[in-house]
């Protein structure tokens, strides 16, 4: 009985978060920007790869792999999305109502992560399928079905995990500008500073996210899941420790 009650409450909280997410135009615009960038940049990379690359240097092992490089750039769009999902509520005071419906703060953050990650994953999935269709239309041998599936799943999971990472940062910092700046610094600036220590750089979120698209990227995916989970744990602890 207790387990059933908890399951029903979890469903209500996730449903509440999904309704709020769907009703916010900014989130829809950012999701559309993510999908549009992946497809447009991916088509550009694929065309460039089919033309021989840059100065005769190939962009990747195949046109398909080149097109999916677009995900590494387009994922930056989900950083403000992940931050705003929580920061908007702090700014408007709506967090008080959310906490009244779900007093357990880590649970509320987890519900937001499920909705946010699911939405970004779905957009990435559709965008990845479009890139595969574009590659099939290009001249040359078609990609192996298993490799297509791997790339599509990685292209969907990578930005979803980055968005959850940004959500955790927003829970810790409670400032939209501060959280966006912090996550962008982790993804863009920290790798540059860590180039003097390649062994360290390989463990950073930037390398983990990029590695998810590589052949044999399962280890990178596990590492990125760990970063996203750590951000959620820190964010949940921060929400629990501090009052809005």
pLDDT at 5: 54
Do you know the residue count of the chain?
244
Give tens-digit pLDDT for 148-171: 999 999 999 999 999 999 999 999
In the structure, what pLDDT confidence band is assigned to residue 234 with cuts at 50, 70 and 90? Answer: very high
Query: What is the number of structural domains in the chain?
Result: 1
In the structure, what pLDDT confidence band is assigned to residue 37 with cuts at 50, 70 and 90? Answer: very high
Contacts 24+ apart (CB under 8 A), 45-51: 45/69, 45/70, 46/131, 46/134, 46/135, 46/138, 50/138, 50/139, 50/140
In the structure, what pLDDT confidence band is assigned to residue 3 with cuts at 50, 70 and 90? Answer: low
The residue with tokens 């649970």 is 107
Asked whether 223 and 159 are in contact (CB, 8 A), the reply is no
d(C-alpha 15, C-alpha 55), whole Å = 51
Give tens-digit pLDDT for 38-58: 999 999 988 888 887 776 677
pLDDT at 4: 59
Over range 213-225, report the average pLDDT.
Answer: 92
- pLDDT of 204 > 90? The answer is yes
Please indicate whether residue 27 or residue 134 has the higher confidence score (pLDDT).
27
Give tens-digit pLDDT for 123-150: 999 999 999 998 888 776 777 889 999 9
Give tens-digit pLDDT for 90-124: 888 888 888 888 888 888 999 999 999 999 999 99
Residue 58, domain extent: 2-241
Cα separation values, 82 from 89, 92, 116, Å: 12, 16, 7
DSSP type of residue 214: S
In the structure, what pLDDT confidence band is assigned to residue 12 with cuts at 50, 70 and 90? Answer: confident
pLDDT at 50: 80
């Amino acid at each position: 009985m207790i387990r059933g009650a908890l399951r029903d409450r979890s469903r209500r909280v996730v449903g509440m978060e999904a309704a709020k997410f769907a009703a916010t135009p900014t989130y829809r615009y950012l999701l559309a920007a993510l999908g549009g960038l992946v497809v447009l940049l991916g088509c550009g990379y694929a065309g460039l790869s089919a033309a021989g690359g840059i100065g005769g240097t190939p962009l990747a092992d195949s046109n398909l792999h080149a097109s999916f490089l677009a995900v590494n750039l387009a994922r930056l769009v989900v950083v403000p999305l992940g931050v705003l999902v929580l920061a908007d509520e702090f700014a408007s005071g709506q967090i008080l109502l959310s906490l009244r419906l779900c007093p357990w703060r880590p649970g509320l953050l987890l519900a937001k992560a499920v909705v946010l990650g699911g939405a970004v994953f779905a957009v990435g999935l559709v965008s990845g399928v479009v890139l595969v269709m574009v590659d099939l239309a290009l001249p040359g041998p078609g990609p192996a079905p298993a490799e297509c599936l791997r790339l599509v799943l990685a292209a969907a999971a990578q930005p979803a995990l980055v968005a959850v990472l940004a959500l955790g940062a927003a829970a810790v910092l409670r400032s939209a500008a501060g959280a966006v700046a912090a996550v962008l610094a982790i993804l863009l600036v920290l790798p540059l500073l860590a180039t003097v220590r390649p062994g360290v750089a390989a463990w950073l979120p930037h390398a983990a996210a990029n590695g998810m698209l590589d052949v044999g990227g399962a280890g990178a995916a596990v590492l990125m899941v760990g970063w996203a989970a750590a951000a959620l744990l820190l964010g949940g602890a921060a929400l629990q420790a501090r009052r809005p």
